[in-house]
Amino acid sequence: MTFGFAPSSAASLSTSASAASASRLLEPAEWAAAGIPLLRNPREVVSGLHARHRPRPSTAVVAVLDPDERLRASASFVRRPAPADGWMFRNTLLAQLRRVIPHDLRRRTPVRTAVLLYCRDGDARWTEEDGAWMWGLRDACTLHGLRCGAYITLTRDGWQVLGEGRGGRSPNSESLPEPFGLSEVPPPLPRTGGAVSDVLRRAAAR
């Protein structure tokens, strides 16, 4: 006769939860094979998001680009301290997308693309946390009618588009943002003279 101890129901639930969480991530090879569209100018996209949101470690920036890679909407948020789970990341990303831009579910083919920039500690090598963000981004895009775009990490070593091998040293997680809108036409200077100018001068002198 053999005696033993059956695993408790709590332990079984914990094991199955861990297994489910582990399946909600994408390896770099899976990501590369998914046909993620390449950014034409990744450094410009990264620099623009870095200047706009000034991310620090544990900050994620989700952005929606039009077919010409012009920024249409973006949102940044700080990741809560919890185990990396693609399902939770998916829900968070989806909530941010719904907040900043209408869905494209009525379109037969997605036109706009969502990209994710994640600023974190450590080096540029892929981690399971990155894999969970990739899974979450892909699923959130499907549910919001968007194309799934690049996943970019920002570390002290610089930025890197995972799955593509493209990256650079600047910006990085410790650098100051470049002046915002360098590639844009600067706003026109106010004209001098006239009643409006007199009002502005008097207000400045107070």
**Would strands 147-155 and 113-119 be described as parallel, antiparallel, or unpaired?**
parallel
- Angle CA 151–91–85, to nearest 5: 70
pLDDT of residue 185: 36
pLDDT of residue 177: 75
| Average pLDDT over every residue of 167-193 | 63
pLDDT tens-digit readout, 106-118? 888 999 999 999 9
Q: Which of 34-38, 69-73, 90-94 has the lowest mean pLDDT?
A: 34-38
Residue 1 vs residue 67, higher pLDDT: 67
**C-alpha pair distances (Å), 148 with each of 10, 21, 126, 181:** 37, 21, 19, 25
pLDDT tens-digit readout, 95-154? 999 999 999 998 889 999 999 999 999 998 999 999 999 999 999 999 999 999 999 999
pLDDT of residue 22: 59
Residue 205 banded pLDDT, cuts 50, 70, 90: very low
pLDDT tens-digit readout, 181-197? 443 433 334 344 444 44
pLDDT tens-digit readout, 9-59? 444 434 444 555 557 999 988 998 888 999 999 999 999 999 999 999 999
pLDDT of residue 138: 97
Strands (E), the chain: 59-65, 71-78, 113-119, 147-155, 158-161, 166-168
